A and B are shown apart, each in its own frame.
Chain A
Amino acid sequence: MLPTTGHPQNNDVRKGSGTDVTQNILEMRGITKTFPGVKALSDVTLQVQRGEVHAICGENGAGKSTLMKVLSGVYPHGTYDGEIVFENETVEFSDIRDSESKGIVIIHQELALSQYLSIAENIFLGNEVKGPFGLIDWNKTNFEAAKLLARVGLSEKPTTKVMDIGVGKQQLVEIAKALSKEVKLLILDEPTAALNDADSDHLLDLILHLKQQGITSIIISHKLNEIRKIADNVTVIRDGKTIETITRTEVSEDRIIKGMVGRDLEHRYPDHTSHIGEEVLRVENWTAHHPQDNQRVIVDNVSITANAGEIVGIAGLMGAGRTEFAMSLFGRAYGSRISGTVYKRGKEIKVRSVAEAIQNGLAYATEDRKTYGLNLIEDVKRNISVASLDKLVTMGLVNDNEEYRIANEYKKSMNIKTPSVMNKTGQLSGGNQQKVVLSKWIQSDPDVLILDEPTRGIDVGAKYEIYTIINRLADEGKAIIVISSELPELLGICDRIYTLSEGRITGELPTEDATPEALLKLMTLEKQR
């Protein structure tokens, strides 16, 4: 084993007075970070003790990842307010290399490995082991890599290509890479989201093992049982604010859930009584496989119904297959080997392409509006009309005056804040972009509207507006399906909630019988193996 570099006694860099050395390796004070139109973090405080495993909990969009990006210099000093003290030294990182040179390494949810390079090449990428004449010393590279791999308990050859090992092992390569940078504070963002149980257990053991070697870890996770297993302290973040820090002795899943969701439900969601009519959509035995690996089941025999005027929720953790289900249903926009039947008002319909799905009255507003939802370099007007352009055509030509009028109607009715519908969509704030996405789908006049994370990354006020719009659409007799990982949101606006876990429907609850605790239990229900 390499000599560990994280021992506190070796690494105290004391600046300033040098007398008041606290237990804390890291203190973030009064961190406030604003994006155009959204306050992502507001006066957040975080204290991490030397040598502990510190968990950060919060719903999606609560600001956890933003906080870590501030810490690691992804958002450079000057783009946020507040102060970061690392090892008793005020630090101002201008990029990620800066923070890495101090020993802060972040491992993102989406692994930053180059698939076509070997494990050893990845570990030393940007930090190559050089021999004479500045040439890369491959023998030494592979030798050092092997030592790091032993440290993280990965028995693969350093020369194996990263694409040939599983996600779990790739995660370990990331950690080996962090160790090669002499990490003192390791940040893991949802490290087990894509891992199976065995890999997750191994990873958690490794984090504890590293802790014994003096490496402090911050772990962001949704999985409460994991947090309980390894965390010394838990900081709960909600809506960009620090709610509390819970110590190990007080940590319990109930306590964390309460901290995460404990908010004033009444004022966040508009009052609404649904008038539920006949069945509009019925999906039976819907199964979809991974697009590249067509043996891997992603959506497993899902059957659901939705009625006119009803708002149906689908709750599931990250990786449960929510988006994959919706996109495979929407004209096979995701997956391979898709099977199952779809009925609209009792009659079987075919949804073999997106165009066919739209023709049959389906609409799907994506969770990732920038990648899948909008043409950001195009104006608002054309983004609204794009899915139903045929309606505007007379004698083969698009009536652009009519297009303008319709866009303006949506601007007014949806309260899209933009100087003009001729402005580029990329200039709008997240909430207003989301309204453009909704306008587009409302204009296509669907019977079933699937909304995937309709309020992700938008501020509280805009959320309320979106909920009001959803209610209005339901009142018009459309069937609405809302996919969300924010349980209070589902509880606040839905009539009925399905839970999804590992691609299967694990429960169906009328909202009046549902509690966050009950839903979380169903959402984490695992397949009997």
Chain B
Amino acid sequence: MTSQTTNPAPLGPADTGRQNKITAMLSHAAADLGKNGIFLALLAVVVFFSITTNGILLRPQNISNLIVQNGYILVLAIGMVLVIVAGHIDLSVGSVAAFIGAVSGVFAVTWGLPWWLAIILSLAVGALVGAWQGFWIAYVGIPAFIVTLAGMLIFRGLALITLGNSNIGSFPQEYRNLGNGFINFPVQVGGQLIDPVTMAIGAVAIIALVVQQLRTRAGRMKYGQDVEPMPWFVGKLALFVVGIGAVTLALSSFKGIPVTLVVLAALVLTYTVVANRTTFGRHIYAIGGNRRAAELSGIKTRWVDFYLFVNMGVLAALAGLIFTARLNLAGPKAGEGFELEAISAAFIGGAAVQGGIGTVTGAIIGGFIIGVLNNGMSIMGIGIEWQQAVKGLVLLLAVAFDVYNKNRAGVRTRR
């Protein structure tokens, strides 16, 4: 974590130590609030809707629904934020999801292939779709906006052709688990139904988080890096632990852990590491920050662009599978508007329109904010027309806040 310590004004010797600590704490708080503003925004939205819905929002069943209903958007948001960081955009993901849903229907239902083979083949087709778009973007040099706008039409068309004027339905149960399966072994304890497996997984997640945070902190300290003051660190960690614990409790008293959540958690972990700790991920940021400088630093920008879209294709395919599995139906209307929700999630999560900035966690939180808005307003009985308007406004304000913040930091203004 960056510590933006401003130089404190010179003070009397007696005061200095304590004052320094306080200023350090304050500047940490300010810097963290700027950086974690997105978490606070999510918290605010959650608090707001739990009040306006009389607590329905936070009921176990609703929390479980929130995760399952938004799973496919979040999967898309992960790929989308990387595409945006590299300075591109992908408008085709909704159509690609629909196309892959249809293709998987052919594999799993029409052809009757085993469910696992159908899934693997579908993901492979997604990779091919991504390679097709990546080729035009990276090696022909056509702007991603155009290529994926074309892709939006092409793959919507191909989805309709594949479906041949009808829906494909009734998928094998294993396939359907991807969208609405749960890991649960409910046990009756004193009139209350709880799930020890869910609890155990939650506990493991909490322990893993704490251990990982402590190790990172120790590693940084060993190298003499600035770390957050201990109380701040502990406080933040405690907040996360409470959050995970609460969600675990809720899930264990409903149906257990959704399979979608397991897939999502694995993706978030993997892609956070990819973005921060692999050369591929670092190169994405370098390209988005300054493409010419990246080229002149020996980065194979075309190669990175190409695989970025292959990756996006695979994730769009996965989103299509989850959506199809949830509905137990591959239909022509699947995936409409997904691209806009995914793009909004990335931008609300702090990605910069010009590229170079954005995080996987930010995009996930952004996706949850949209999810809670959708869900909360639906519970309140607000019509779809107002939901659209509110979501649009939130996107606009989020980006405006971001632009304001950057101007204040003075990084973007000098060109």
Contact = CB atoms under 8 A, between A and B. Distances in A.
Contacts of A188: none
Contact of B278 (A396, A404, A420, A424): A396
A179 to B, nearest CB: 31
Given A386-B286, A398-B279, A422-B226, A364 B294 contact: no
Interface residues of A, number: 44
Q: Find the residue from B225, B273, B292, B352 having the highest chain A CB count within 10 A.
A: B225
Contacts of B412: 377, 426
Interface in B205-245: 219-220, 222-226
Contacts of B415: 370
Interface stretch (B16-24, B44-52, B295-303): B295-303
Contacts of B296: 330, 333, 354, 364, 366, 372-373
Contact of A371 (B2, B289, B292, B357): B292
B289 A378 contact: yes
B410 A427 contact: yes
Given A371-B292, A376-B411, A387-B297, A400 B276 contact: yes
A377 B405 CA distance: 13
A386 B296 CA distance: 10
B414 interface: yes
A389 B279 contact: yes
A419 interface: yes
A371 B3 CA distance: 28
A355 B293 contact: no
A435 to B, nearest CB: 16
Interface residues of B, number: 39
Contact of B297 (A354, A376, A377, A426): A354
B338 interface: no
Given A376-B411, A398-B277, A422-B226, A382 B292 contact: no
Contacts, number: 108
A330 B283 CA distance: 20
Given A354-B298, A373-B296, A420-B226, A397 B289 contact: no
Contacts of A377: 289, 352, 356-357, 411-412
Contact of B5 (A419, A424, A440): A419
A372 B293 contact: yes
B11 interface: no
Contacts of B357: 377
A379 B2 contact: yes
A444 B296 CA distance: 13
Contacts of B333: none
A408 B409 CA distance: 23
B105 to A, nearest CB: 36
A404 to B, nearest CB: 6
Contacts of B271: none
Contacts of B299: 354-355, 386
A370 to B, nearest CB: 7
A376 B219 CA distance: 27
Interface string B262-279: 000000000001001111
Given A393-B279, A419-B5, A358 B298 contact: yes
Contact of B225 (A364, A375, A401): A401
Nearest to B354: A377
A353 B303 CA distance: 13
A374 interface: yes
Given A358-B298, A375-B293, A387-B298, A420 B3 contact: yes
Given A364-B296, A419-B5, A420-B2, A376 B278 contact: no
B292 A372 contact: yes
Interface string A346-380: 00000001110110000010100011111111110
Contacts of A354: 295-299
Interface in A388-410: 389-390, 393, 396-398, 400-402, 404-405, 408
A402 B352 CA distance: 28
Contacts of A378: 285-286, 289, 356
Given A382-B282, A386-B299, 15 more contacts: A333-B295, A354-B295, A354-B297, A366-B296, A375-B286, A375-B289, A375-B293, A375-B294, A377-B357, A386-B294, A389-B283, A397-B273, A420-B3, A426-B414, A427-B410
6 contacts: A355-B300, A366-B296, A382-B285, A398-B279, A419-B5, A422-B2
